Structure 1
């Protein structure tokens, strides 16, 4: 696996993966100047995507009729440089038909404890917690 990052101008960069998919990153502090997510926001997007893929996949393997899954990630950063994440909380809203709270909870736990590489890796540096709610479709 590899990516490249190419400077555009200012604090703006475009990252590309080996298959040509791109993401615009911008570290500008002023909202009007930002043309993309910050690198730290992209880390949180990665943990949201990685864990959500697991939750949906595991729930479906448990024969759960999932129709939507939303992950909201909130994080706290250290006040001094390096401003690493110290706490990360992921809340899943899983929507489906006749979902079992137990099955969804198991999917969240398996993702957190066994399968989500991003969550487990960031958990080495920050306290990562999870919660969920089930909503009937």
Structure 2
């Protein structure tokens, strides 16, 4: 896996491209010298957790023939300062599913994702506590 980064302006706006040619941007907030034109690198980390777990959960539930009509997630990360850096201390993911889904299967799919399969979560595990909640058809399971 390889990413290329190219500086766009004289501050902190960058273009990133993966090996398949997909392009995205990062920037920093205005209060730290950026122009807030794109998510920050740490916001992308949270997006990575959301995306990675979504792929896992949907894949697991599809194999179990569960009918997902809507999927969304909210990820909340809290950080702590350590020697000038601010790594994530805790990440809480709330997964919202709708459809013909057995709640216990949804909960088990999330458990498998966060505790076994999600590479992003597993990468963060040594430094951040990752918690998750599952809500199926507006009911927390």
Question: Shorter-chain TM-score: what band?
Answer: over 0.9
Instruction: Say whether the 8 Å CA contact 1:12–1:28 is kept in structure 2.
Output: no
Q: CA shift at 1:43, angstroms?
A: 0.6
The alpha-carbon deviation at position 18 of structure 1 amounts to: 0.4
Aligned counterparts of 1:100 and 1:121: Cα–Cα separation in 2: 29
Q: How does 1:28-47 map to 2 (within 5 A)?
A: 28-30=29-31, 33-47=35-49
Alpha-carbon contact 1:16-1:23 (below 8 Å) kept:
yes
Residue 94 of structure 1: aligned partner: 97
Matched residue, 1:115: 117
TM-score by length of 2: 0.90
TM-score, length basis structure 1: 0.93
Q: Distance in 2 between matches of 1:110 and 1:67?
A: 21
**1:39: Cα distance to partner?**
0.4
Equivalent residue number for residue 14 of structure 1? 15
How many residues are aligned here?
135
